[in-house]
Structure 1
Amino acid sequence: MNTAHRQRDSRIRFDWGLRGAAAIAEGADVAVVVDVLSFTTTLSVALDAGIDVLPYRWRDETAAAHAAAHDAVLAVGRQEMTPGAVSRSPGTIRSARTVERLVLPSPNGSSIAYDLDSRASTCLGASLRNFHAVAEWIARHHPTAVVSVVAAGERWPDGSLRPAVEDLWGTGAVIAGLVDTHGFGSLSPEAEQARAAWNAVAGRVTSALQDCASGRELALIGFADDIAIASEVRRSNCVPILRDHRFVDASGTLPVQALADR
């Protein structure tokens, strides 16, 4: 990979998808994955409910065995739902009552997190619900860190990456939190553009998510509630961190006053 794509001269880096994550993770102290519709939004809802999440590649024939090996429930696709099942749709997580561990596969955010588990010493998950808590945790625990923020994006029918604007906003929110609230500097030009994109929509998140292509797509197939949950800006204080191949909530390591100030 061309070294120009690694953004090595910048403390805060930004790129897209699995290959972009591999490029900017090298030399970074912290990697943050953002997949607003819906992996990291669903992840935040699960951790709020006390459910540990195991990221996995797209739901293939090995996913069920992976879930069984970890005594976990396997999330199904949105349109594969049956009564009592749990899907990648965050609303189904809220109604779950007996789930303790969840394998949450996706071709985007979950696949990136699964890959970063072996590349990054610290891997976090952020959405519009909890970006402030993630930025706070990084500032408290890694005040001099090099941070790589990855927008997961979506997929075209041929499997190629479709840059998704909602993930640009989500990554920009994390970056803005680090820069504007906690004084982090030395942004790559890519990271600066993500920050600017977030600042452009920060006051109208719900309508922006409803109007973007991914939001319209979800509404057309009957999952408008996913957009509403993704629009819950700053509603969650969870800090999803990958430990022992699963996301757990690290927010308990934030000082009590920091949580009270939000």
Structure 2
Amino acid sequence: MFDQQSYRYRMEWGIRGARDAAARGDIVVIVDVLCFSTTTIVAVHAGMQVIPASPQTDVATLAKTWQAEVAHPRQTAGEGYSLSPTSFLRGTNGNNRLILPSPNGARCSTACRTATAVFIGALINAQPVSRHIQQLSHELDKPVTIIACGEQWNDPISGDNCLRPAIEDYLGAGAILAYIDEELSPEADVCRSAFRGSLKRLDDLIWDCGSGRELRERGFADDVHLARKLNLYSTVPGWVGGVFQNVGADVDPKAF
């Protein structure tokens, strides 16, 4: 049976990888660069508590339970919050709880809520989240799995695996792994090497990748520009009490 369990640091793909990591009791990092992870980091930096919502979630009931605002679809958000990370650069409107629907990052996040700890990582906080997970891993003696969420194919045929690997998530996972000097699983090692080998071209690769082009063509070039900035934020969203909130500069293992 496939596994990476002889290694402390691992890398997996998508909702199945997230679910299996949670079942093992791993520390999990969710990486969805364009854009759930990037948006969550920016929103939490702005003072929000973020509640992920998968496509199957009853968002209205969830909003009522948490007394939270629901992020709008990008195209109809106007001046409101959306999955666009730049929608949080204007500051918050007083309600500090936000439900953030997403077909990939939120879905993976909700799938691994029973993990030992869950964090949100991306290019914009790669080093801070890497430091956090290393500290917590050794304090709790728990392994870490980095999840590259990937995308979903449009109009899949019945029986298809809908996961479409996304290089922006692979490079985001590799960026987090690049700050780890300990032994990695071969899967994580190759991911780290991919990031290091792409570092000089990182901006162009994120800008021109399929997901980046798609967002730019829909009018969200600013989101792509923000998402490709390495270590722009020190914020580390961690899953605490049912929401993602900033865990601060130090990891308290008693919180997880």
Q: Given the alignment of the two structures, is residue 188 of structure 1 paired with residue 185 of structure 2, yes or no?
A: yes
1:137 and 2:132 are equivalent in the alignment? yes
The answer on 1:29 being equivalent to 2:26 is yes
Query: What 5-or-longer segments of structure 2 have no aligned partner?
Result: 157-161
Give distance in 2, aligned partners of 1:84 and 1:59.
Answer: 26
Identify if the C-alpha distance between structure 1 residues 141 and 188 changes in structure 2 by more than 3 Å, giving closer, same or farther.
Answer: closer
Residue 127 of structure 2 aligns with an amino acid whose one-letter code is H
Counterpart in 2 of 1:231? 228
Alpha-carbon separation, structure 2, partners of 1:249 and 1:236? 11
2:201 matched to 1:197? no
Q: Which runs of 4+ in 1 moved over 3 A?
A: none
**Are positions 1:222 and 2:224 aligned together?**
no
Superposed CA deviations along residues 83-122 of structure 1, whole A, max 9, x for unmatched, are: 332110001121243131111111101111111112x010
- Match for 1:72: what amino acid? A
Give the partner amino acid of 1:89: S
Contact 1:137 1:251 in 2 (8 A): no
Match for residue 17 of structure 2 among 16, 20, 24:
20
Alpha-carbon distance in structure 2 between the residues aligned to 1:128 and 1:87:
20
Q: Relative to 1, partners in 2 of residues 1:198 and 1:69: Cα closer, same or farther, differing over 3 Å?
A: same
Distance in 2, matches of 1:59 and 1:92, equals 24
Which of 113, 116, 128 is matched with 1:117 structurally?
113
User: How many percent identity over aligned positions?
Assistant: 35
Q: Which amino acid aligns with 2:100?
A: L
Give 1:140 shift: 2.5
C-alpha separation between the residues in 1 aligned to 2:186 and 2:26?
19
Please tell me whether the aligned partners of residues 22 and 113 of structure 2 are also in contact (alpha carbons under 8 angstroms): no
* Secondary structure of 1:15 counterpart: strand
Cα contact 1:128–1:234 (8 A) shared by 2: yes
In 2, Cα distance between equivalents of 1:225 and 1:231 = 10
Quick one: distance in 2 between partners of 1:23 and 1:141?
A: 20
Distance 1:254 1:244, change over 3 A: closer
Q: Which residue of 1 aligns with 2:146?
A: 149
Distance 1:230 1:59 in 2: 26
Q: How far off is 1:26 after superposition?
A: 3.7
Contact 1:133 1:238 in 2 (8 A): yes
For 1:46, give the aligned amino acid: A
Q: Could you tell me which amino acid in structure 1 is paired with residue 39 of structure 2?
A: T
TM-score (norm 2): 0.89
Moved more, 32-41 or 196-205: 196-205
Deviation at 1:218, TM superposition (A): 0.6
One-letter code aligned to 2:96? E
2:22–2:116 contact (8 Å) kept in structure 1: no
| Shift in CA distance, 68/23, structure 1 to aligned 2, threshold 3 Å | same
Deviation at 1:152?
0.5
Residues 210 and 227, structure 1, Cα contact 8 Å, conserved in 2: yes
- Is the 8 Å Cα contact of residues 6 and 24 (structure 1) preserved in structure 2? no
Offset, 1:28: 4.4
Q: Cα RMSD (Å) of the superposition?
A: 1.8
Q: Tell me, yes or no, if structure 1 residue 71 matches structure 2 residue 71.
A: no
**Any residues of structure 2 matched to 1:47-66 within 5 Å, and which?**
47-58=44-55, 62-66=58-62
| Counterparts of residues 77-92 of structure 1 (less than 5 Å) | 77-81=73-77, 83-92=78-87
Amino acid at match of 1:246: V
User: What amino acid does structure 2 have at the position aligned with 1:110?
Assistant: A
Q: Which TM-score applies when normalising by structure 1?
A: 0.87
CA deviation string 1:30-79 (max 9, x = no partner):
1111000000100110111011101111276x112211210111012212
1:39 aligns with 2:36: yes
Residue of structure 2 in register with 1:164 after alignment = 166
Counterpart code for 1:169: L
Greater mean alpha carbon deviation, residues 199-208 or residues 216-225: 199-208
Distance between the aligned counterparts of 1:25 and 1:7, measured in 2? 14
Go from structure 1 to structure 2 and tell me whether the alpha carbon gap of 1:32 and 1:229 turns closer, same or farther (over 3 Å shift).
same
